[in-house]
Amino acid sequence: MGSFFKATLQSFRAVAVIGLLACSAQGFANAGLISYTAGTGGTFDPSTPSTFTFTNFGQGTLSPGVDYTKVRVTARWNGTTPYPGAFDITSLSLSTPGTSTAFSNISFLAGTSANSLMSSGYVTLNSVVNTTNYSGVQLTLTIPTLTVNDGWNLDFRLGFADAPSDNVNTTAFQTVTAVNAAVPEINPATGGSALLLVAGVLAMVEQRRRKRAAAAVVAIA
């Protein structure tokens, strides 16, 4: 019976190690992202690239009754200085709906002033967006490694246009703010709960093993 519990304990320890490795891999993939609140924005560690998926954009200037067929992404920087110099926002993609072609990068120039609007090019939507479904649109992009101070931030919004009039309307901005030397949070939705469960099972198995060992000592006595 002792060998059974020993094998069981070893198995759960292996599961725990696998879980930790999986969470570490995910943390590395999105190493710079510290926090995100849908519809508002979040925080990132500028010492490493950060990939955000923005959801629940506010309505902004979208017009009721208009079906938008094209979209672009607009960004600006603000907050604390100094400005880090030229950099690109890359890997832009949209879902719900998607787009027929890939976005171009958003390029910030060496001397881009605060609040200057920088945009990708327009791309065609796979299906129309209007005020009844815009809140389901999701934008994913990557912020590169940047040398900036705490409080430096980037704003992002979507700009929709309709054809043939090309009436341009935008969503509200979402803001992501730099926080240097940050400790990434454990997100229960991406592994935190699993690790807590494994830890709990390990504790339970160890407690039962000790009880059986104590019972065996009493029986021998």
**Given this model, what pLDDT does residue 1 score?**
53
Residue where a domain stops, chosen among 178, 195, 211: 178
Please tell me the distance from the alpha carbon of residue 69 to that of residue 124, in angstroms, as a whole number.
Answer: 6
**Given this model, what pLDDT does residue 166 score?**
74
CATH of the domain at 129: 2.60.40
Residue at 26 is within a domain: no
Answer yes or no: do 166 and 211 share one domain: no
Please name the residue that has the structure tokens 């208009």: 66
Query: Which residue type does 193 have?
Result: S
Residue at 39 is within a domain: yes
Query: For residue 159, what is the enclosing H or E element?
Result: strand 153-161
**Given this model, what pLDDT does residue 206 score?**
62
Please tell me the distance from the alpha carbon of residue 67 to that of residue 172, in angstroms, as a whole number.
Answer: 18
Residue where a domain stops, chosen among 143, 158, 178: 178
The terminus-to-terminus CA distance of the chain in angstroms comes to 19
Query: For residue 26, what is the enclosing H or E element?
Result: helix 2-29
Please tell me the distance from the alpha carbon of residue 114 to that of residue 134, in angstroms, as a whole number.
Answer: 28
Residue where a domain stops, chosen among 178, 197, 212: 178
Answer yes or no: do 172 and 206 share one domain: no
Answer yes or no: do 155 and 193 share one domain: no
Which ranges of 51-131 does DSSP label H, i.e. alpha helix? Answer: none
Query: For residue 177, what is the enclosing H or E element?
Result: strand 174-178
Q: What is the pLDDT along the chain (221 residues), one digit of tens a residue?
A: 555 445 444 544 544 444 433 443 344 445 799 999 999 999 999 999 999 999 999 999 999 999 999 999 999 999 999 999 999 999 999 999 999 999 999 999 999 999 999 999 999 999 999 999 999 999 999 999 999 999 999 999 999 999 776 788 999 999 999 999 744 444 444 444 444 444 454 555 466 666 665 555 445 55
Residue at 85 is within a domain: yes
pLDDT digit string (tens) for 97-139?
Answer: 999 999 999 999 999 999 999 999 999 999 999 999 999 999 9
**Given this model, what pLDDT does residue 167 score?**
83
Tokens coding 210:
């000790």
